[in-house]
Amino acid sequence: MTIRQPVYASVLVFAACLLSACGSESTSGVYNQVFNVSGHWSGTIHGECFSGGSAPVSMTLSDNGGAISGTITTAGHSSISGGTLDGTAVQAPTNTTGDNPLTGDQENSNSGSVVLSLNSPQATGGVSAVTIDAGGSGYTSTPTVNFSTPPAGGSRATGTAIMGGAGRIASITVAAGGSGYTQDTEVIIASPNLAGGAQATATATIASGVIVGFVITNPGTGYTVIPGVTIIDQETQGVSSISVTLGGSGYTSATTVTVSPPEISTGIQAVATPIITSGVITGFTIVTAGSGYTTVPDVTITDGGGGSGADGLAVLSTFSGGSGAVATAVLAESDAGQVTGVVITNPGSGYITAPTVSFSRNFGGSGAIATATIDTATVTNLLTFTLAGTSSKLSGHYSGIWQCCGLAACGSNSHGTICLSRAGLCPPP
């Protein structure tokens, strides 16, 4: 027994070394260490977008097996105070050194890298529309449209002016509303009488099959004579009859027949009533043929008095459409020599505030004034943060689109550095 005691002692020492002492003496790692960035981080962000060049920043992150989500807030930025984050975290792949070599494959470095994308409501910075505030006068040729320059990193918008001319359609008056009109109604305005003019277009406003008004979709140009307006309603399907497939029994005067609505939203639902003899349905009377059906509708027979067993099958027939409407076009006063619109040929990018719009002077023309509107659509993945460090401290840089209102040096190519810590170890801003 006394001979084996030193052997047992050696085994115990060796096991203790494996479980605790040897692993804890690593110079660069801990046994089965996991790189995880879940929690709250605070620190400092540096870059040209911040007053004084830097500002405090904080992040709250959730690390689910390397899939990161969270939020960021910062102070001192001229246009963005925060947003949502998503990205990935990757643990450093190398094993630790300085530990027991028998456990090297199970040890990990307490370090890694993180890539995050900032998602925050942000204008794309392109010109979406131009509104003419004043058409000016005296323009004998189309003036050049000029947009002011966007901040650094953006691209300037371009556009072409639309000139007015004699005889545009100002409105269409309903002389007679007619009846039976559907969504297939087409409004045709005759071509302009002047060479080079543009044909006007319009749509009809319909209520219960009656035309109650018109919407001018293109006023056209080149009209000196009031054009004719033709209203055509394309053929649609209505219910011509309902045949009896089963007469049933026990039906009374309380029996109702319901025909399902048409597929076309502006169509008219068909209406029918039953013909009953000794409690048996022997036929149907079509009260309203309806319109807008593209498939055979369902027929539902209901009787609260106990009738049952009847069924009917609808039959579709061509419905002639609406008729009887009359309309008259009204010409607008001539706007010849005026700027009536701007077609955007390139919206540009990087505008933080709406650019100014100006028109060149052409042979005496002047006075046109317009206002631009920039795109307010949301851009995702505006900014990318690339960080590296440990589970307690991260640092790195950011770059991408982080617009800065009013700062000429800031634009769609923002960049800078960031330091984050769980214990406030970053230098103050």
Q: How far is CA 126 from the centre of its chain?
A: 16
pLDDT of residue 377: 58
pLDDT of residue 82: 67
- Residues 304, 356: Cα–Cα separation, whole Å: 71
Where along the chain do its domains lie? 28-122+379-421, 133-164+336-374, 169-234+323-331, 237-314
CB 120 within 8 A of CB 380: no
Residue 154 has pLDDT above 80, yes or no: no
Written as six digits, the tokens of 1 are: 């027994």
Q: Which of 306, 351, 428 is nearest to 129 (CA)?
A: 351
- The average pLDDT across 81-107 equals 65
Q: Which of 338, 337, 342, 339 is nearest to 160 (CA)?
A: 342
Summarize pLDDT for 355-411 with one digit per residue, the tens: 999 998 876 788 899 999 887 655 444 678 999 988 889 999 988 766 544 333 344
User: Which CATH number, 2.40.128.120, 1.10.290.10, 2.70.150.10, 3.40.630.30, labels domain 28-122+379-421?
Assistant: 2.40.128.120
pLDDT of residue 81: 59
Work out the pLDDT band at 3, boundaries 50, 70, 90. Answer: very low
pLDDT of residue 5: 47
pLDDT of residue 243: 94
Q: Which of 182, 189, 222 is nearest to 205 (CA)?
A: 182
DSSP state of 424: S
Compute CA distances 350 → 59, 359, 414, whole Å.
27, 22, 11
- The average pLDDT across 340-351 equals 83
Task: Please state whether beta strands 158-163 and 210-218 pair in parallel, antiparallel, or not at all (unpaired).
Answer: unpaired
Residue 122 has pLDDT above 60, yes or no: no
- Residues 118, 25: Cα–Cα separation, whole Å: 39
Written as six digits, the tokens of 142 are: 């189309």
- Which secondary-structure segment (H or E) carries 262? none
- The average pLDDT across 90-99 equals 63
- Average pLDDT value for the chain: 78
Work out the pLDDT band at 23, boundaries 50, 70, 90. Answer: very low
pLDDT of residue 12: 39
Q: Which of 384, 419, 390, 301 is nearest to 59 (CA)?
A: 419
pLDDT of residue 225: 84
